[in-house]
Amino acid sequence: MRILAACEESQAVTIEMRRLGHEAYSCDIEPCSGGRPEWHLQVDALELLKMQWDMIIAFPPCTYLSNAGARHLWRGGILNEERYRKGLEAKAFFMQFLEADCPRIAVENPVSSKVFDMPIHTQEIQPWQFGHPYTKKTRLWLRGLPPLVPTEIVVPMSPYVPSLTMRKDRSKYGAAKRGEDAKNRSKTFPGIARAMAEQWAGRCVDGSFRDGKAAL
């Protein structure tokens, strides 16, 4: 299959799809950090939606949509109009992936602020369901794809990204520190990327597996 991993500079999903034998490409306006630039398209992801793909997995930016940034959206109970406008622009960008002309679509984002009235998500997943001992609730919107099934449930030891109150206690920082590595905080966990590849693209046309490699 020809697969587009949109807004994915990390190439986590792209590499897993390539491992299964698919023609997968990551796409982002930034250079990739996954080490396989030959599989990376450094262009506006919306331009690539004009092409025909068998599957699109998109990770649109969530900065202005995420509920984690709600404190910036409301100031003293008053709506921050500029941030609200940017949030609406981010939602419009998100919707172009969800409504793309493609038979299999997955769009990923964290929990969003209610004010943006996002469409109902298909499922919520956590890193601890896929072998990573952290909490970081992530939502998936799926079309033509089944919900992900947990592959390795472990006991979470901390949130992956600490809350503002937790920042005062360095023992509860988690793995990603706010304000220091925003790009790393948004990367797809390897266990989740592997599950996406194996559960959404690892099966042959008849639904079976063939030597662990998907039919092209």
pLDDT digits (tens, 9 = 90+) for 152-204: 999 999 898 766 544 445 454 455 554 445 555 568 999 999 999 999 998 54
**Confidence band of 8 (pLDDT split at 50, 70, 90):** very high
Name the CATH topology of 2-156+188-200: Rossmann fold (3.40.50)
| Residue 146 CB-density burial (10 A; 0-12 exposed, 13-18 middle, 19+ buried) | exposed
CA angle 32, 200, 63 (to 5 degrees): 45
Beta pairing partners, 108: 140
Taking the domains of the chain in order of start, what are their residue ranges? Answer: 2-156+188-200
What is the Cα gyration radius of the chain?
Answer: 18
Distance CA 196, CA 112 (A): 22
CB atoms within 10 A of CB 37: 13
Distance CA 57, CA 108 (A): 8
For 37, the token pair is 């630039």
Note if the pTM is more than 0.75.
yes
Distance CA 65, CA 106 (A): 18
